[in-house]
Structure 1
């Protein structure tokens, strides 16, 4: 499918084709989210103001400046030294003017601590550092508007301590991103609801893999190919729970070398082993064993799932990672073992992302101002992918024209960019 680019859909965000950007992912607990390769995205630091976009991230620290003796940044005016301890949380900060702020947070206590910079009026977090070890210093950089702020110190195995309130003079607008903390308690109902949804998918998956096995047993390889795709797409929608699948998930997913690096079909199992045989001319007899083992693994997952528990703290991260993995694996063809259905899998991954996002939406509505923009880009991405699967026949990656490839990479890249703040906002935080 290589028809000309139809341009933005009505109501879709403006696309900026050809703009390749450096990644500036939000920091979660001092760890930067990995960047997805081979994507062209539409929002950069340089154009954020011009397009009205926001490169969303809490205040972050520069680990290269972490020291044990209060490092300075080499500027004429060094960072504001702030003490972190049980008895003097936030000592050293006396306020100032609105705009960029740099703090050198020094832990003078005998235990590691998390440190949050909060808005005293709303409780929103503007900056955070996790795991500040005793005797060490890290720089925290934020942009603050006018208002009242304080540092909250959360030592390991001790209650939170909020330091003195300080006043920043200036307009209240213009500050960097901030959000009221999401707690483990907030996320538990979301996790339980998603677990029930996954339970229903495991039943559906078991039925479809049984259909696949019957087709292979009957020697009907055309029916087996159809059943394989239906079953595989159900599994691809369950990405929010992959981390909890354990050994059954490994057997289903068929972890192993990429097709180009496989010495033979014996190098991998699960869906990809069956895929390899169905699209490489293997006989039905040779596929009965792999199809049977796949069905057994799926039934094991279905039967064991009620005893599993999703980690609520991982839900926001998974909402971002599903499409990030799509860009890394499906859009590069690394997971194509012969069927040419990477774009169908990408479309199912998008469904999985939206399912997770739907559960998190009540928490995000008041915390993420770019949520409507994210929804618009997910709609756009869905429309783009659906064009490659008209009539149920999916275009293989190698048949995409240059314009189609660029638009697909751009759409998914922008969606991934806008999903990154979901991971940041929904990272469960202590408040006491």
Structure 2
């Protein structure tokens, strides 16, 4: 998928080569040169507050970049950085301390990590901006409502699996995942729990156990229920309960809302449009719809801020979300959607194009929120 290419000036390129630029000395953007076997971060520290990374993929594989807090809690991430592309990550870090940066060539594993120090303390955006404070509260209410629905539907799905009601479990699978997919950036901020719940079979290559939704998906659609399917269902329920408890107490920043809106569209581009996500059930369009819903919810929470600071951007966002909605509705069947295997190449191309067009303005929201 194409992504917004941020033009990087000579100063940033010099930083990627190991030379500190005047901009960086003043606390400006930190250049990151991501290669297949290296992750060169231009500076290993920054003052608390808003921190900007300019990540250029100089390798041959699609990569990701992360800033981790203690316990692998994700402070910010940028995904789907194709070779030759530069993408920007803006994060708010108000507490000084030890953090880690990571590049993930191939978008797998723990990544190439280095220590990163944040110095001092900074006021939070929400402490001085009432509109941003209300945006985070509004989005937290949305997250809480989705968490409640996720608990309810997961219990129904788990009971159907344990009761060996295969047809019922198959019908509940995409519906249950709606609520997961809408809040996926929140779930992904907990690095330990996301692979347990939503890891595809590829996680085995990373030395992890294949559990969660996709393990049960394979049991239901491919191999048939296994001797341990019931215990896998119980584990899923326990992991969802753990997620919900954490998500309801997570203190989000306005920039996490903005970044999350873009991350959800990246999820569509890297998994749903390709048919890789629900590779056994082919219910990818349910996930597609839910990722877009979640992105819309984050933008809706930030709407008063965007309207005040960049009304033209807001108009573009409204137009392009509407275009995605229109294209998705063509694939609707009753209360659900066509299976991925029923789509034509023209259908997939059309969906990819409207998501690509939406991703460009959504990627600008973090700069508006950061006041850049």
The DSSP-based 3-state class of the residue aligned with 1:326 is helix
Cα gap change, 1:406/1:156 in structure 2, threshold over 3 Å: closer, same or farther?
closer
Alignment CA distance shift 1:191-1:243 (3 Å): farther
Contact 1:244 1:309 in 2 (8 A): no
Q: How far did residue 66 of structure 1 move? A: 5.0
* Paired residues of 2:156 and 2:172 also in contact (CA < 8 A): yes
Correspondence 1:130 to 2:130 = no
| Aligned match of 1:325 | 267
Gaps of 5+ in 2: 32-45, 50-91, 93-123
Deviations 1:266-325 (A, max 9, x none): 951111111111111412654211111101111122233333222333221111121122
Mapped to 1, the partners of 2:242 and 2:47 lie a distance apart of 39
TM-score normalised per structure 1: 0.57
CA-to-aligned-CA distance 1:242-261 (integer Å, 9 cap, x gap): 34344333322235507xx8
Q: Matches of residues 37-186 of structure 1 in structure 2 within 5 Å?
A: 62-65=11-14, 106=22, 112-114=25-27, 129-130=28-29, 156=47, 184-185=125-126, 186=129
1:354 counterpart residue number? 296
Q: RMSD over aligned Cα, in angstroms?
A: 3.4
The structure carrying a bigger helix percent of its residues is 2
Unaligned runs of 5+ in 1: 1-19, 33-59, 72-104, 115-128, 133-154, 159-181
Q: After superposition, what is the alpha-carbon deviation per residue over 1:218-243, rounded to whole angstroms, capped at 9, x for unaligned?
A: 22111111122111111001134134
**Partners of 2:186 and 2:247 within 8 A in 1:** no
CA contact (8 A) 1:256 1:268 kept: yes
Separation in 2, partners of 1:407, 1:130: 35
Q: 1:236-251 residue pairs with structure 2 within 5 A?
A: 236-251=181-196
Higher RCO, Cα 8 Å, sep 6+: 1
Structure with max Cα Rg: 1
CA shift in 2, pair 1:362/1:300, >3 Å: same
Distance in 2 between residues matched to 1:299 and 1:279, nearest whole Å:
25
Partners of 1:205 and 1:243 in 2: CA distance: 15
Check conservation: 1:277, 1:287, Cα contact below 8 A. Answer: yes
Instruction: Output aligned runs, 1:411-430, within 5 Å.
Output: 411-427=354-370
Query: Alignment length, in residue pairs?
Result: 278
How far, CA to CA, are the matches of 1:216 and 1:376 in structure 2?
Answer: 41
Whether the aligned pair in 1 keeps the contact of 2:283 and 2:339 (CA below 8 Å) is yes
User: Could you say which residue in structure 2 is the equivalent of 1:193?
Assistant: 138
Q: Work out which of the residue numbers 348, 358, 363 in structure 2 matches 1:405.
A: 348
The separation in 2 between residues aligned to 1:217 and 1:312, in whole angstroms, is: 40
Could you give the per-residue CA deviations for residues 360-381 of structure 1, whole angstroms, max 9, x where no partner exists?
1111113231321221111111
Q: Residue in 2 aligned with 1:299?
A: 241
2:35 alignment partner in structure 1: none
- Separation in structure 2 between the aligned mates of residue 229 and residue 196 of structure 1, nearest angstrom: 23
Q: Does 1:206 align with 2:139?
A: no
Distance 1:23 1:340 in 2: 25
